[in-house]
Amino acid sequence: MKLTGPSASRYFAKPDPARTGLLIFGADAMRVSLRRQEVIAQLIGPEGEAEMRLARIPAGDLRKDPAALMDAMKAQGFFPGLRVAFVEDATETTTPAIRAALEEWHPNDARLIVTAGNLTAKAALRKVFEDHANAYAIGIYDDPPSREEIEETLQKAGLTAIDPAAMTDLVALARDLDPGDFRQTVEKIGLYKYGDSTPLISADVAACAPATIEAGVDDLLSIVAEGRAGELGPMMQRLTGQGVNPVTLAIQSLRHFRALHAAASAPGGPAEGIARMRPPIFGPRRDRMLRQAQNWGMFRLEEALKHLIETDLTLRSSSRAPAMAVMERALVRLAMMARK
């Protein structure tokens, strides 16, 4: 069975021990790893690994020895309690062994937890779990954490009294930081407020927040393509501080707008164009690029590509103009075009 949205969040917080197994897949290895840790900790408890009730099986080992997973699920430990067999970084080549283990599972066997990278809707590994009557498959995408997930993270750190302005700052921080970094920041805030019964305020968040936050080029391109010109300056400053090269920005901008142009010029419309892209695009990023392609249209995207090619040629020439300023001016022009 497939779980999404709030149902998936509730299952991560309190997994059902009667379920045969769970597949967690997604492009962001950090997000997948955090969710996997959360589920396993809930199933076997804090001492489960020390009591040898967790069997880790890398996908490479499973390919060499397909029976290893079945052995791990059927093995009986010295300590009482639920056991977990964990297959890490599974791929399509490990599907036969995983399918066999699911088919032979009995309630006294270990629960099966599998992690994988991005899987298409037709992927055999994904279908094994989605078609199973007693197992779940959950996709993890790169969308920001929900308010419910943020509050859950805060509660785990002992932060319950929070000023509304501070919560607004935390929500913004959750959007900018990777999940692992956000969790570490919240834990730091929890230690900062230890023994302090007063509500958490914005000044406390500012005192513990990272001095610099990593910015991604994908985030910058979304700002440009969606016409959010007011957010462009701060994002450019962050990327400049990270040492991102202007030529790199030009190359990735061209790649992004060429993809939008291919989608917008598809005979069957942008949705067909996005679906035909290789490598395939999934989840919120797919929806975002589809909206961008629909908003721009083929002819305006051709104009945008013309500006980007001219900018790329300027950056590679002997021009004395500051390279990052040239790139930023081009991106501002594109962001303004998106608003027309």
The domain locations on the chain are: 2-139, 147-208, 217-338
Measure Cα distances from 295 to 46, 72, 151, 263, 314 in Å.
Answer: 50, 52, 34, 12, 28
Fold for the domain defined by 2-139: Rossmann fold (3.40.50)
Question: Residues 6 or more apart from 313 whose CB is under 8 A from it?
Answer: none
| Residue 270: half-sphere exposure toward Cβ, Cα within 13 Å | 19
Q: H or E element: which one contains 26?
A: none
Find the DSSP H helices in 177-245.
179-192, 202-208, 217-225, 232-241
Residue 292 is predicted with a pLDDT of: 92
Give the distance between the most distant pair of CA atoms in the chain. 72
pLDDT, tens digit, 9 for 90 and up, residues 190-218: 999 888 889 998 888 878 877 555 457 88
CA dist., res. 110 & res. 82, Å (int): 7
CB of 153 within 8 A of CB of 39?
Answer: no
Residue 209 is predicted with a pLDDT of: 79
Question: Per DSSP, what are the bridge partners of residue 200?
Answer: 162
Q: Beta strand 135-139 with 111-116: parallel, antiparallel or unpaired?
A: unpaired
- Low-confidence residues in the chain, pLDDT < 70: 142, 211-215, 279-280, 282-284, 340
Asked if the domains at 2-139 and 217-338 fall in one CATH topology, the answer is no
Rounded to 5 degrees, what are φ and ψ at 48?
Answer: -60, -45
Specify the DSSP class assigned to residue 94. Answer: G
Peptide bond into 279 cis (omega under 30): yes
Give domain 217-338's CATH number out of 2.40.37.10, 1.20.1440.230, 2.40.160.60, 1.20.272.10.
1.20.272.10
**Three-state SS at 151:** helix
Residue 211 is predicted with a pLDDT of: 57
